[in-house]
Amino acid sequence: MDARAHTGERGDPSGPTVHDTPERLLLREQVSRFVAREVEPNADAWEHDGRVPRQVIARLGQLGWLGLQVPEVYGGSGVDPITNFVFTEALSRSTYGGFVVTVLVHTDMASPHLVHAGTEAQKARWLPGIVRGDIMAAIAVTEANAGSDVARIRTTARRDGADFVLDGSKMFITNGVHADLYFVAARTAPLETGSRGLSIFAVEKGAPGFRVGQVLDKTGWRSSDTAELVFDGCRVPAADLLGNENEGFRALMRNFQRERLALAAMAIGNAMSSLALALEHARTREAFGGALWQREAIRQKLALLDARTQALRAFAYHCAWLDSERQDCVREISQLKALAGELANDVAYGCQQCHGGIGYIRESAIERLWRDARILSIGGGATEVMLEEAAKRL
């Protein structure tokens, strides 16, 4: 049943968009095939192990999909945001959200910091490895006492000779255990300066004074590793400051747009896969003398969830287009993230309900999609925070 969630067969809610080109259609088809053949049959073991194997990441690198947003000079292909959205959406049709987030944190949430703010020397040093998948990236902003309110982070970075010295800790960091390179937000000016006192540092695994703290056990995204990071007098060469000192907040806000598009793609992929599974189940499951599909209440519920998903998908492509046109789209992308996180939960819940008892059993894909959906309205900008961002711009 799992393998049918992303096959594009009859009833599959994903279809053409007005933005399709032969290249984008080919990319969607190739990524879908990869998900069907190389992810879905194998990822139960990754869920069990709490990580995606490095050879799978390397395979994505060989296929060129870890460098879609990286300029060609560093081994990437520098595609536009719409083409990138095609990739993130197609990957997100996997019923294993932990796999998807492992990849998208690397490609869309962490490494864009280096692409946007890195010096030539920093890019030449790390980007080729990131594109190949030899260097796994993470983004470390959240702290135990500062999540939504990024301006309140307390990890400090104090200049000492040719180094900065980092002290503090980070919480809930995706790829936290197995990454090789961490983009860490730290305070380079007193707390009172708020958002004007933050900077971003590239910290390599093995830096003195840096260690992975508690490994966190989660409801969903089981194949993704999530950890606390500890910086205890961690020395980072001043040359590894990313962008200008005290301008980190602006860089974070800029990258949050890309991050939120990727999270919206995850939500849409989750919703489409949930719907595909529920349609299949409703058509084949017999109760009270016929298939569930013959019940008006069931098919109308699925029709409405499908309509909401299609509408959101169209809005998501519109947001990717605004981004590709370099228009200010903070309002739209904040609204998209809010809608997408809530919708994924509504769809997964409704589709799980159609499955009855089997939808509550660990072996069923819909049960995993329901668990994986939960974080999508919390992580990377909770719904309420996104709506505040949108409201400010109405």
Q: Give me the active site residues, please.
A: 259
Of 163 and 388, which has the nearer Cβ to ligand FAD?
A: 388
User: Site for ligand FAD (CB under 6 A): which residue of 50, 147, 248, 359?
Assistant: 147
Span interacting with ligand FAD, options 92-100, 139-147, 252-260, 333-341, rule CB under 6 A: 139-147
Span interacting with ligand FAD, options 133-141, 293-301, 312-320, 362-370, rule CB under 6 A: 133-141
- Enumerate residues 205-244 that contact ligand FAD by CB under 6 A: 218, 221, 226
C-beta of 147: minimal distance to ligand FAD in Å? 2
CA–CA gap between residue 10 and residue 200 (Å, rounded): 47
User: Site for ligand FAD (CB under 6 A): which residue of 169, 336, 380, 390?
Assistant: 380
Of 28 and 106, which has the nearer Cβ to ligand FAD?
A: 106
**Is residue 130 involved in binding ligand FAD (CB under 6 A)?**
no
Cα–Cα nearest to 74, from 135, 132, 124:
124
Span interacting with ligand FAD, options 71-79, 81-89, 169-177, 189-197, rule CB under 6 A: 169-177
Please list, residue by residue across 131-156, b when 16 or more beta carbons sit within 10 angstroms of its beta carbon and e when fewer do: bbbebbbbbbbbbeebbeebeebebb
User: Site for ligand FAD (CB under 6 A): which residue of 136, 379, 389, 390?
Assistant: 379
* Residue 41 exposed, middle or buried by CB count within 10 Å (0-12, 13-18, 19+): exposed
CA–CA gap between residue 153 and residue 108 (Å, rounded): 22
C-beta of 13: minimal distance to ligand FAD in Å? 26
DSSP class of residue 245 equals T
For 40, the token pair is 């879905």
C-beta of 248: minimal distance to ligand FAD in Å? 13
Of 32 and 156, which has the nearer Cβ to ligand FAD?
A: 156
Of 295 and 331, which has the nearer Cβ to ligand FAD?
A: 331
Partnered with residue 138 across adjacent β-strands are: 182
Q: Tell how far CA 252 is from the center of its chain.
A: 15
**Is residue 140 involved in binding ligand FAD (CB under 6 A)?**
yes
DSSP string, 85-154: HHHHHHHTTSS-HHHHHHHHIIIIIIHHHHHHH--HHHHHHHHHHHHHTSS-EEEE--BTTBSS-GGG--
Span interacting with ligand FAD, options 85-93, 151-159, 171-179, 263-271, rule CB under 6 A: 171-179
Is residue 171 a contact partner of residue 270, using CB atoms and an 8 Å limit?
Answer: no
Residues that bind ligand FAD (CB under 6 A): 105, 139-142, 147-148, 172-174, 218, 221, 226, 375, 378-380, 382, 384-385, 388
